[in-house]
Structure 1
Amino acid sequence: MSSRYYLAAQLPAFSINAASALPITEDYFTDLCTRCLDEGSVKILKSLSLEPPRVQKPTGSAFVDAWYDWERSLRYALVQVRAAKLKKEFSVNAQSLPADIVQIARTASGMASPLEAEEFLNTERAAVLETLRPIDGFSVDSFFYYALKLKLAVRIKKFNTEAGMNAYRAIYDRILGEAT
């Protein structure tokens, strides 16, 4: 347990949406964790992703499972809303998708700019991470929370309006080409 206190004391606070550089890298954070956490926890930490596996399977952490369940539901809702806009079939049990997540997907899909939609989705993701945040700041789940928050912050910092619009247009043109 004392190694977790040591680890927590070394972790700098940061804001996901801050314009400044992040005070820690993912590699450095992972390195710290490998020195302070047990092997099973490090394995879970190294496998963490902002993109959950398509098939739900237990990770060994209730926190990570809850995050993956929420993110998976959001992604299915986004696909469902986008498919409906394109008049394409997408089969997902709509009853299993929570109404609040479907509303988030509808709001994001209705935004004029893909960048604006991604910023909105990232704000929602950050809010969910905060609601799932473990109360015990020294628990293993609190380090998983920190890792996901760091991954989300790194992702947000990679956004580039011009490059994003070019990629969006290319994907959209490809989709329209397949639809005809």
Structure 2
Amino acid sequence: MKIWQGDPCAPQQFIWSGVNCTYSSSGTPRVTSLNLSYHGLDGAIPNALANLKALNYLDLSDNDLTGPIPPSLEELTSLTVLILSNNRLNGPIPASLCDGQSKGLLELRVDNHPDICLCHSTCQIGSKGRKLATFTIVLIAVVPALIILLLLSSLLFFFLRRKKSATKLCKWF
């Protein structure tokens, strides 16, 4: 487990691994590059990344990140490279990230995500998810229908048998 404390850019000789900063004479350093690939990250991509306004390179590949790509990443207007490959992300890619990619302003990599909706495509569930969804719908529709059919046939059998018994009794009297 990595423990990160303090400012990732200062003091300069103790800059965090995977972090690049710019240092201006006017004040505080700013994070411009963040490489967190292979860091064992899991859960959702945090919205707090949008606070790194000077960020131009973000690599979150080869972790265990889940859920959708947050719209908050659209706020990173300086971003030129976004690598999200080899996680477990799903859903659509935010529109402005797609626009940046189509205009050549953003290098966007989302390899190995079967449940992610690529830019300018319709959103579809991956083949495993599609099969599971189809099976669930069939199960929800068929099981109640079979139960109703079984109850109706049991009632019909009961009433026909009762009617037949009543007819036999009438013949005796």
Q: Which has the larger radius of gyration?
A: 2
**Highest relative contact order (Cα 8 Å, sep 6+), 1 or 2?**
1
TM-score, structure 2 as length reference: 0.22
